[in-house]
Amino acid sequence: MDRLKLVLQYFQSNSESISNGICIILSLISVKLYTSFDFNCPCLPQYNKMYALGVMFVPPIILFLLGVLVNRHTGVLMEEWVRPLGKRTKNPAVVKFLLSSMLQRSFLAPMVWILMTLLDGKCFICAFSMNVDPKYFTGIPNSTGLELIKIMAKVPCKEDVIFKNSSFRKAVSRYVRCYSQAIGWSILLFFIFLGAVGRVLKPCFNHATFLQTRYWSNYLDIEQKLFDETCVLHARDFARKCVMQFFESMQEDVTVRMPLSSAFRPSTIHNEYEEEEEERLHGITRQDQVDHLLQTWYECKPELDVTRMAYKPKACITWEDINGKALFSEV
């Protein structure tokens, strides 16, 4: 009983902690990607905004899709959603729960990227330096003959020659960066606040239903894993038996199976390993049986009722000789 509990705990904690771990790894990847990315503002009026907003929003989309992809719950969710009804009713609350937990985890890495771009400020400067009103700043280099907007567009580029001897560029950059960081911090604060409120207020609404949906979504996940494992074990035993029979079919001499002594005295000391193997095959020994099993698993999932299996009456055999004397009994 204890071992079973440990196993169950392992499975339950394992699935969630794996998802959390993957989520965090993805966020770290997003941080690393940002730091190693060489941000290259074009410093041209027509392209600045496009580039900067592209860098701010396209990688989050990619990270979000990646987060959905690598999350195990996505598969469980999609399967539960599209499966035929079969013998098991569908519970939309479970689907919603799985969806929300998957989305929450997948949103973390994109948020990390967006926050990093905002707190760093480069993207913002590149995008919005042209919107700054230069009359608040001194030292604008107006001797180059360029239009104002072109000069402002060059602000993000440090090495441009027109800003060599003036502090104009630095002043404008600092101003825009302030804005960027303010927005970044407020977004962070907002989300933390939202998370805290959600956590605190959640038990006030439908807690009992929530417990149920959480249980059943966990159950679906574990069931899927166990099914895959059972298939793996079955395939291995199937293969082993197939290969063995293949070898045995090639022999050219007599092989006499002689469990004669067993007929006298049906021994309980059989080849335990073989018996276990037989058991693990569960009677599924042909290709069409396996195909049918897999098809039915999808089309007509079994009902959630194992009472029959748990209390199945077991057949007991008693061996008797001609006089009726019991030689051996399993009772």
Partner 1 sequence: MDKFRMMAQILQSNQESFMNGICGVMALASAQLYTSFEFNCPCIPEYNYSYGISMLVIPPIWFFLLGFVLNNNVSMLAEEWKRPVGQRRKDPAVMRYMCVSISQRSLIAPAVWISVTLMDGKSFLCAYSMDLDMSEFGKNVSGHGLSQEDLLRTLAKIPCKHIYDGQHILSREAATRYICCISQAFGWLFLLIITIAAFLIRAIRPCFTQAAFLKTKYWSHYVDTERKVFDETCTEHAKGFAKICIKQYFEGISGEIQSFHDNLHGDDSDDEDDKPATEEDKLMGVRRLDTMNKVLWDWHTCKPPLTLRKPGDASTGQNGDCSMNANKSQDGNVSDKTDLNEGQNGFKHGYLNPGLDIGQSELGKEYDNASFSIEQNGFTNKHSNASTSQNGLMNGCVSSPSNTQKKAWAVYYSKV
Residues 6+ apart with CB under 8 A from 168: 134, 137, 138, 139, 140, 141
321 part of the interface to partner 1, by CB under 8 A: yes
Alpha helices in 71-161 (DSSP H): 72-82, 92-106, 108-120, 122-128, 148-153
160 part of the interface to partner 1, by CB under 8 A: yes
17 part of the interface to partner 1, by CB under 8 A: no
319 pairs with which residues across the strands? 328
Contact 37, 116 (CB under 8 A): no
Tell me, residue by residue from 96 to 125, as one string, x for binding to partner 1 by CB under 8 A and - for no binding. Answer: ------------------------------
Q: What is the rounded distance in angstroms from the CA atom of residue 73 to the CA atom of residue 66?
A: 13
Near partner 1 in 173-232, by CB under 8 A: 228-232
* Closest to partner 1 by CB, 246 or 311: 246
75 part of the interface to partner 1, by CB under 8 A: yes
40 part of the interface to partner 1, by CB under 8 A: yes
* Closest to partner 1 by CB, 104 or 209: 104
Q: What is the rounded distance in angstroms from the CA atom of residue 317 to the CA atom of residue 37?
A: 74
* Closest to partner 1 by CB, 60 or 121: 60
Q: What is the rounded distance in angstroms from the CA atom of residue 212 to the CA atom of residue 215?
A: 5
Among 25, 233, 304, 326, binds partner 1 (CB under 8 A): 233
49 part of the interface to partner 1, by CB under 8 A: no
Q: Which stretch binds partner 1 (CB under 8 A): 15-23, 55-63, 165-173, 307-315?
A: 55-63
* Closest to partner 1 by CB, 97 or 301: 301
Residue 42's nearest CA partner among 115, 163, 125 is 125
31 part of the interface to partner 1, by CB under 8 A: no
